[in-house]
Structure 1
């Protein structure tokens, strides 16, 4: 009985993370500073069975004018598809951000805390001629001044249907996907 109680307690605690949990962690993540300039990232999408369904590389051109930021993203998918997204970001007080993009429904809300950043938003995704709307719970973790790890839970009606994982690296001198990812 004790083992069951401990297991349930650990399981329930791991299901919900509050961004403020990271506030006292070293290596503060300032997305305005990190997402400034050109960089690339690599990622994959896994369905609810953990099968990798897509791989991609993304080129990012980011710039800021005071508290207003623009992140232009160009995605290269493993099936040859190329897509674009432009984020328009606003830095608010206390590490809070809002954002919008062409395929984001309404406003994305984000928060920095310690080495972590969390976005929450709804994304419109075209699939086989129809558009589906998914809730995105997007977490970024600063590993060092050059690298950021990103995990996003994609859900519909409260059920996780996919997970997106990305790895950003600003240290590379070549900032293009074509030169960095010949397999895509």
Structure 2
């Protein structure tokens, strides 16, 4: 098979896979819609992992989030503790728009993040500047949060480059836990 045929086969396969994605409208029929302003107001803790393109877990982490809102303007201060000892920070500046959507910016986000919710789901899409071994890469983030109950939210984020998934991030948020801080960066 020639290189051109292989290349076309890859493009067609990627197109078919991406066309099977979930739409936000699939989640419109619920009694209590997910209100991210209410959920991310105050302290929230989450645990997560990063899986590479072959689904191998490459990193695990815990994140402490402190959210505060003034009307429709919010700040989410995130502190990440990775299992390899790295500690990193992200500070989201969020705005709720009149149509119910959200816009957001953070230090490592390129341009504006756009968020929309429907029922118990919230989708956040943005471009992230990701630094790996002193190299910077721009990746697309398709971030989906699903509220399980008033205290717990599951999050799945697909990370892609040039339309090809390179990693996936999975998080579990909990507002009710008795342990309200991540383990020290010294604990691995």
Question: What TM-score do you get using the length of structure 2 for normalisation?
Answer: 0.87
CA contact (8 A) 2:110 2:126 kept: yes
Q: Which moved more, 1:85-94 or 1:64-73?
A: 85-94
Q: Does 1:100 align with 2:100?
A: no
Distance in 2 between residues matched to 1:153 and 1:26, nearest whole Å: 28
Residue aligning to 2:26 = 21
Q: Which moved more, 1:165-174 or 1:41-50?
A: 165-174
Once the 2 structures are TM-superposed, how far is the Cα of residue 95 of structure 1 from its aligned partner?
Answer: 2.5
| Structure 2: gaps (5+ residues) | 1-15
Q: Which moved more, 1:142-151 or 1:167-176?
A: 167-176
Distance in 1 between residues matched to 2:115 and 2:159, nearest whole Å: 16
Residue aligning to 1:31 = 36
Count of paired positions: 173
Distance in 1 between residues matched to 2:39 and 2:22, nearest whole Å: 23
CA contact (8 A) 1:63 1:71 kept: yes
Aligned equivalent of 1:144, options 130, 146, 149: 149
Residue aligning to 1:158 = 163
CA contact (8 A) 1:95 1:113 kept: no
Question: What TM-score do you get using the length of structure 1 for normalisation?
Answer: 0.89
CA contact (8 A) 1:54 1:77 kept: yes
Distance in 2 between residues matched to 1:183 and 1:19, nearest whole Å: 39
Distance in 1 between residues matched to 2:147 and 2:84, nearest whole Å: 30
Distance in 1 between residues matched to 2:25 and 2:18, nearest whole Å: 15
Paired residues for 1:4-19 under 5 Å = 15-19=20-24
Specify whether residues 159 and 176 from structure 1 end up closer, same or farther in structure 2 by C-alpha distance, changes over 3 A only: same
Q: Which moved more, 1:26-35 or 1:64-73?
A: 26-35
Aligned equivalent of 1:45, options 44, 47, 50: 50
Once the 2 structures are TM-superposed, how far is the Cα of residue 174 of structure 1 from its aligned partner?
Answer: 2.7
Once the 2 structures are TM-superposed, how far is the Cα of residue 183 of structure 1 from its aligned partner?
Answer: 5.5
CA contact (8 A) 1:27 1:144 kept: no
Q: Secondary structure at the match of 2:99?
A: coil
Distance in 2 between residues matched to 1:135 and 1:93, nearest whole Å: 26
Q: Does 1:73 align with 2:72?
A: no
Q: Does 1:132 align with 2:137?
A: yes
Distance in 1 between residues matched to 2:180 and 2:95, nearest whole Å: 25
Distance in 1 between residues matched to 2:118 and 2:72, nearest whole Å: 18
Once the 2 structures are TM-superposed, how far is the Cα of residue 182 of structure 1 from its aligned partner?
Answer: 8.8
Q: Secondary structure at the match of 1:177?
A: coil
Q: Aligned-pair RMSD on alpha carbons? A: 1.9
